[in-house]
Structure 1
Amino acid sequence: MTATVAAGVTRRVPIARAYRFELVKLISQWRIRILLGACWIAPALFVAAVSRQSTLPVDTLFGRSMLATGWAGSLVTLGFAGTWALPLLTSVVAGDVFAAEDRLGTWRHLLIAVRSPRRIFVAKTLASLTVILSLVAGLAVSSTAGGLLAVGDQPLIGLDGHLLGPADAAGTVLLAWLCVLAPTLALAGIGLLGSVTLGRSPMGLLLPALVALAFQLAQMLPLPVTVRMALPGYAFISWYGLFTRPYQLAPLLIGVAVSLLWSALATLLAYLIFVRRDFTGLGYEGGARRAVTAGLLPIAGLLAVTVAVLATTTGATTSGIDQDKVQRSIATAFAHLYRLQTDQLNRPPVTEEQLRTTAACTRGGGRLDPIGAGNDWRCVVAWHLPGTEAAGQAIYQLDLTPDGRYMADGDGPKEVNGYFLVRTPAGDAPNPLWQFDGNVDLLPAKG
C-alpha cells in the first residue's frame, strides 16, 4: 500500500533547482554572453578613451567633467544606460524569456520536467532578474573603474556648484546606480508581460524598448509635473537630485515608488495570464485582445490613479518650472562656483554670506512669461565682494529642458564667466563659471 501511494505522488521540482536550470539556459545563449561581456568591459574602455580626448560630450550631463574626475565617466554612462542600454537589455532578457519557449515549442517538455506552471514562472522571472542585475552591475563597475584608472579620484562638482569629495562622490554615484534599478525592474516587468501575452510575436521582445522610448518622448514634452512623475521613465533622470544640496529627494522617491508599483503590477499580470494559459497548443501566437484587457487597461488605470494621488499630495499642477526656482538655482550654483574659482585663482577666500548672490531671470527678452522650459532664458547674476560697495554682474544664457535640467552658458564679462584655463590639482581646466549644469526641483517648495 505504501509503495502504491509513493508511486502515485507527483513530486514537483524545487524552485531553487528550476531557477538554476533557467539561469543556465539564459547564460548559455550566445547573445546573453555577448551582453555580459560587453557590459563588463565596454564601459571601461569607452570612459577611459573619452577621458583622454580633448573634445568631451559637453551636451551630456557631467560630460564636461570627464577630464576633471573619474566619477564623471560613470555618471555619463548612467545617463546613456537609462536612455538606451537598459531598455534594450531588458528587452533581450525579460522580453524573450517566455517567448523563446513558444518559438521552440518546448512548453510540454518543461511542464513535464517541472510539473508546475507557477514554479516555472517564478524560476524564469528570478533567472531573468539575475541576468539583468548582473548587466547593470557590469555597467556600473566597469564605467567607474575606467574613469578612476584613466583620470583619478578627484572631487566632483555637483549640479548646484558644490564640491563633492571623493568619499561623497563615491557614495552618491553608487546610490544613483541603485536608484535606476527601480525603473529597470519596471521595464523588466513590462517585458515579462509582453513575453507571456504576445507569445511568438516579435512585439513581445520589442515591448520594453518601445515603452521606454515612449517614456523618453513624454519627458521631452511640456507635461504637468504630476504626469511626468507618474511615469517610470522619470526615475531614470530623478537621480539628478542626489547631486544638489540639499538633496532633491521628493522627486527621486516618487520616481522609485512609481517604478516599483509598475514593476509589481506588470509582473502580477504576467503571472495571472501565464498560470491560466492553455499549453496544449504548440503554435501559441498570443492574443491582442488579451494584451489590451489584461495588460494595457490595468496599467493605464494605475497611471490615472498615480496622477490623481500626486496632484492631491504635492499640489503640483503646472510644469514645475518658474522664475523664482530658476533664480534661486542659478544664484546658488554661481555662489558655489565663484568660491571654487576664487580658490583656483589664489584670490582671498570669501564666503557665500559675504557674496550675497542674487539672480534676475527673464525669458524671451522679457516678452514671454518666465515659466516653463526653453532655450531663451537669460539671467543676470549679481554679487558683492567684501569691502566693495558696487555689485558685480555676470550674464548667463540658459537652455532649460522640461525635466528641470539646464545648461548655463556665460555671456560676459569674460573676466568672470568667459573661457579661460585655471590651474587645478588635476591640471589645467576651463573656468568653472564659464559653463555649468544645474537642476530645478519641479515640486512646489514646502512651507
Structure 2
Amino acid sequence: MTASRTGADAAGRTGSTPAPIPAPGAPGAGRVPVARVYRFELVKLVSQWRIRLLVLACWLAPGLFVAAVEQQGTLPTDTLFGRWMHATGWAGPLVVLGFAGSWALPLLTSVVAGDVFAAEDRLGTWRHLLVAVRSPRRIFAAKALAGLSVLVLLVAGLAVSGAVGGLLAVGSHPLVGLDGDLLSPGDAALRVLLAWLCALAPTLALAGIGLLGSVALGRSPMGLLLPALVALVVQLAQMMPLPVGVRLALPGYAFVSWNGLFTGPAQLGPLLVGVAVSLVWAVAATLLARALFLRRDFTSPAQDGPGRRAALLGALPLAGLLLVSAGVLTPLAGSGSGVERDKVERALAVAFAHLYRLQTTELNRPEVTEEQLRVAASCDKGSTLVVPEGPGNDWRCTVTWHLPGTEATGTAIYQLDVAPDGRFVADGDGPKEVNGYFLVRTSTGDAPNPLWQFDGNIELLPAPSKG
C-alpha cells in the first residue's frame, strides 16, 4: 500500500500521463446515477451569472414592460393583441408571447442549450467529468435534462410575469378574439395558457438544435449562435409566400399558429401540425447530438470537438427531415399559399359581425344578433385584373349588413393587409360613423372604436370535405 501510494505520488511529481479513462461498462467502473449527475449539471448551470441574470429578467422584465405599456397613451397596435392592452390584462402575456417567439426564446435557447456542451470544451474538463461519472450516456442525459429544466423555468417566467403585470395594471376583463368574439376572462386565461404551452414545442426544437450545435461544433462560437440563426432563417422564410405545406414543415411554425386558439371555432389544424413537426425536430436533433457525443474520442487531450465532418453529419439528416416533412404535408395542405378570396371574405364577415355587436353595446343601441345582421363581404386584390389570392396589403373589401326593421343596406369599406401566415389587419375606410374614426362617443365618454381597425386570422388549411 505504501509502495503504490509512493508510486502514484512520484507519477504526479514527474508529470507522467494520468491513468486512462475506464471504458463504460468495464469491471469496477462504477457509474453515478443520472439523478445525481442531473443535480450536479443543474447546479453548474444555475451558478453561472448569465443564467441567473436571464432568470431574473424573464421573471421581472415582461411584467414591468406590460404594466408600463398599459399605462401609456399609445399601444403597440402592430403587435397581435396589442390594441387591446388597455381593455384587459390577458392581452399582455400574448404580446409578450409574440415578441418571445420571434426574438427572446431563440436567444434563450442559444445561451442555455447552445453552450451546455461547448463550455466543457472551453474549460478542458471533459476528462475530469468522464472519470467522475464513467458514462457518456449519463452525462448527455443529465446535461440535456438540466438545459431543458432551465429553459422551462425561463419560459414559465415570461408567461407568468406577463400575465401578472397585465392583471395588476388593468385587471381580468374579457378579451376580444381574432374573430371579433368576446372571450370571458376564464376562457381567455385558458387560451393564454394553451398558447404558451404550444410555444414550448418550437422552443424544444431550437433547444435540440442548440444541443446538436454545442456537440458538433465544440468551442466554436457558431454552436452558441446556431439556434438563433436557425430561428432567424425560419422567421424570414415565414415572411415569404411559401406553399402551406412548406410553411407547416418549418420547425418554428407553432410560434405563430397559436393564433388559431383565439378564433371560433378554433383553428386547431395548423397548430397541431406545427406542434407535432416541432416535437419531431426536437427529438431528431437531440438524438443526432447524442449519437455524435457517444462517438467522440475523449482520450485525446488535443481534440476539442467532433469537427466539421460531424457538423455536416448532423445537418444533413435535419435537411432531409425538412424535405420529407414538406413532401408529406404539401399534398395534404395544398400547393398554394392558402390565402384565398372566399376565406378572406368569410373571416372578415365573421369578425365584423361580432365587433358590430360590441360597438352596438358601447353605443347603447338595441341589441342585434349575427343572424339578424346577415353580414357579407366582397373582396378583390386591388383590381379585377389581379387574381384575388395570396398575401399582400392590396386587399380591398366591401362589407354589407342589414338591421332589423330597416330596408336599407349598411356598407363599410376596409383595406386589408394579409400576412403570409394568415393574419390580417383590417383598416376601416368609412363611413365615419361606422369605421372611419378611431373613437366612438359613448355615454361615459370617448372609447376606442372596435370597427375602426382590427386583427383577424384566416384558416390556411383547406376545409374538410363534407359527406
State the TM-score bracket (shorter-chain normalisation): over 0.9
Q: Which residue of 2 aligns with 1:274?
A: 293
C-alpha displacement of 1:342: 0.6
Identity of aligned residues (%): 73
Q: Which 10-residue stretch deviates more, 347-356 or 419-428?
A: 419-428
Could you tell me which runs of 5 or more consecutive residues in structure 2 were left unpaired when the two chains were aligned: 1-25
Which secondary structure does the structure 1 equivalent of 2:383 belong to? helix
C-alpha displacement of 1:84: 0.1
| CA deviation map 1:9-62 (0-9, x unaligned) | 321000000000000000000000000000000000000000000011110111
Equivalent residues of 2:249, 2:322 under 8 A apart:
yes
What is the correspondence of 1:428-439 to structure 2 with a 5 Å cutoff? 429-439=447-457
Q: Which residue of 2 aligns with 1:158?
A: 177
Structure 2 residue aligned with 1:284, among 299, 304, 322?
304
C-alpha displacement of 1:309: 1.4
C-alpha displacement of 1:365: 3.0
Q: Given the alignment of the two structures, is residue 55 of structure 1 paired with residue 105 of structure 2, yes or no?
A: no
Which secondary structure does the structure 1 equivalent of 2:121 belong to? helix
Distance of aligned partners of 1:316 and 1:216 in 2 relative to their CA distance in 1, 3 Å threshold: same
| CA deviation map 1:246-277 (0-9, x unaligned) | 01000000000000000000000000000110
C-alpha displacement of 1:371: 0.5
**C-alpha distance in structure 2 between counterparts of 1:152 and 1:11, whole Å:** 57
Q: Residue type matched to 1:96 in 2?
A: D
Distance of aligned partners of 1:148 and 1:320 in 2 relative to their CA distance in 1, 3 Å threshold: same
C-alpha displacement of 1:193: 0.2
Which secondary structure does the structure 2 equivalent of 1:80 belong to? helix
Q: Which residue of 2 aligns with 1:215?
A: 234
**C-alpha distance in structure 1 between counterparts of 2:66 and 2:306, whole Å:** 42
Q: Which residue of 2 aligns with 1:346?
A: 364
**C-alpha distance in structure 2 between counterparts of 1:76 and 1:424, whole Å:** 28
**C-alpha distance in structure 2 between counterparts of 1:120 and 1:36, whole Å:** 24
Q: Which residue of 2 aligns with 1:380?
A: 398
C-alpha displacement of 1:317: 1.1
Q: Runs of at least 4 residues of structure 1 off by over 4 A?
A: 422-428
Could you tell me which runs of 5 or more consecutive residues in structure 1 were left unpaired when the two chains were aligned: 1-6
Equivalent residues of 2:215, 2:305 under 8 A apart:
no
| CA deviation map 1:178-207 (0-9, x unaligned) | 000000000000000000000010000000
Distance of aligned partners of 1:425 and 1:302 in 2 relative to their CA distance in 1, 3 Å threshold: farther
Q: Which residue of 2 aligns with 1:330?
A: 348
Equivalent residues of 1:200, 1:286 under 8 A apart:
no
Which secondary structure does the structure 2 equivalent of 1:375 belong to? strand
**C-alpha distance in structure 1 between counterparts of 2:192 and 2:442, whole Å:** 22
C-alpha displacement of 1:281: 2.8
TM-score (norm 1): 0.96
C-alpha displacement of 1:285: 4.3
Cα RMSD (Å): 1.5
Distance of aligned partners of 1:81 and 1:315 in 2 relative to their CA distance in 1, 3 Å threshold: closer
**C-alpha distance in structure 2 between counterparts of 1:76 and 1:269, whole Å:** 34
What is the correspondence of 1:362-401 to structure 2 with a 5 Å cutoff? 362-401=380-419
C-alpha displacement of 1:388: 1.2
Equivalent residues of 1:91, 1:205 under 8 A apart:
yes
Pair member with larger Rg:
2
Structure 2 residue aligned with 1:91, among 107, 110, 113?
110
Structure 1 residue aligned with 2:49, among 14, 19, 30?
30
Equivalent residues of 2:363, 2:443 under 8 A apart:
no
| CA deviation map 1:92-137 (0-9, x unaligned) | 0000000000000000000011000000000000000000000000
